[in-house]
Structure 1
């Protein structure tokens, strides 16, 4: 009990109470007057709302697919090379970007994405990008945010998946080899199924984090002098409602919607994947 007491207090103070406070604001107006779903309707009718929903949906699709495919794939390759010093070096290199704070990572990428100063300017120009404005054009943002998010957050998950692969019983792997399974067959029919719960856990946290997209578009908007838009994501729109339009109740309504969507998605992933089923 003593071990979880501190965590429980922090969870209540910085998780449960702020959530309850946001729900209260979402259903009231100034002065505490109950207004039902009025705040939700007001924000949904905002001309920027559906665009922000679409932006976040495209970003989530790219982010989750890349997270599952590349993280699991790279973890399998590293596990295959586990006896080589190359594996240890790569695990370290993958993890290093995760040590940077989100804002610092975006600043690094602002430097990389500017063809005039980028160390990969030749590649950007070969792709037809001569100016920073062309790189951060609205149609490119979802892919850019996916690359930034993967560069920052994938390394930690690769280490987690690598550890999970090390926990697969050796007799199971030996049985697969005795049956004549090659590397691909072993990965597809043995290792990936045994990583199922870890993959689901990664997808749940990846979805929750991706739905709260804010730092990347906000800093990119400032750096591009508004070319990227300050209302690209729902969290940016929440920020705008609260601090530009002085509508805290509307901001709370969007926050509650994001909470409901994230919790519903997590429940769906858990239910459909048999996350709590005994192996």
Structure 2
């Protein structure tokens, strides 16, 4: 009887901790359940279905790699991917360099109150929907109505058609993407810089490192995982470019190619030619490109490496 009375108080807390752990685990599953369902419904299942379409013909018969060969031999395939490649290089370089530089300046060289106002102003364009932002830029790029028409004319653009010359389209799309997307990433980079201990920066200052040396040798290396994360998501979004060239193609009355980007080419295959199998093959090409580049960035940046304290 004495042994039972001695063990009872020690067993009860153990059981309580076990029940608490079970409840915590169930709560975790509950919170991720919604995302998991959406991921399966709008991510995994469409991808599997795209693979099925890409490996079959319009009668549902297995066709091997025929769909991939067919779309790769299309005369519009290589130009579309070259266009998106040029755009991605310009977009990612400008995004990484400018957002990191702006975030460092806001964190180190501007008073907190003013910095908060500036970050808010940078973020505002990102509140616009993609279509709305393109419409704003259609207005800005037309010399006949643009508030900066003097600048456009000084650069040699006397008409809207001149602005939309094929060689200038990547620059236009980079301007639109940066205007709408950079503000949010500036806020993210600023938050990442805030995680750097003030003691580390103070030690650098005591060693004689100025603001730019501290940024180059300390701040930027310490947020490299955030930079890699931003680059991966920006790359994935960039390969899916569709709204901007599609609206410019409509507004320019056909001056912009309807198959300027791979997504537009897939759209033409699916909804103009009725060839959903070919469209799926193009989407798989884009998926493979995205996974390859994301894998390189993840391995080179140690994105998922756990820092040992």
Question: Are 1:209 and 2:240 matched, yes or no?
Answer: no
1:135 paired residue number: 163
Structure with max Cα Rg: 2
- Secondary structure of the residue aligned to 2:62 is coil
Question: Are 1:27 and 2:31 matched, yes or no?
Answer: no
2:6 paired residue number: none
Q: Is the 8 Å Cα contact of residues 82 and 88 (structure 1) preserved in structure 2?
A: no
Query: Which has the higher mean CA deviation after the structures are superposed, 169-178 or 193-202?
Result: 169-178
CA distance in 2, matches of 1:178, 1:196: 24
TM-score, normalising length: structure 2: 0.89
CA distance in 1, matches of 2:112, 2:71: 55
2:124 paired residue number: 96
2:93 paired residue number: 65
**How many angstroms does 1:72 deviate by?**
0.3
1:192 paired residue number: 220
Q: Is the 8 Å Cα contact of residues 58 and 275 (structure 2) preserved in structure 1?
A: no
Question: Are 1:44 and 2:83 matched, yes or no?
Answer: no
CA distance in 2, matches of 1:181, 1:238: 52
CA distance in 2, matches of 1:183, 1:272: 27
**How many angstroms does 1:84 deviate by?**
4.3
**How many angstroms does 1:178 deviate by?**
1.0
CA distance in 1, matches of 2:34, 2:242: 29
2:261 paired residue number: 233
1:173 paired residue number: 201
CA distance in 1, matches of 2:135, 2:83: 21
CA distance in 1, matches of 2:289, 2:81: 12
**How many angstroms does 1:30 deviate by?**
1.7
1:158-199 alpha-carbon deviations (Å, 9 max, x no partner): 000000001101111111111111001000000000010000
1:59-81 alpha-carbon deviations (Å, 9 max, x no partner): 00000000110000110111124
1:83-113 alpha-carbon deviations (Å, 9 max, x no partner): 2432111101100011011111000000000
**How many angstroms does 1:214 deviate by?**
0.5
**How many angstroms does 1:145 deviate by?**
0.3
TM-score, normalising length: structure 1: 0.98
2:102 paired residue number: 74
1:127-167 alpha-carbon deviations (Å, 9 max, x no partner): 01000000010000001101100001000000000000011
**How many angstroms does 1:278 deviate by?**
3.3
2:24 paired residue number: none
Alignment map for 1:235-250 (pairs within 5 Å):
235-250=263-278
Deviation >4 Å, runs of 4+: none
CA distance in 2, matches of 1:92, 1:275: 28
Unaligned runs of 5+ in 2: 1-28
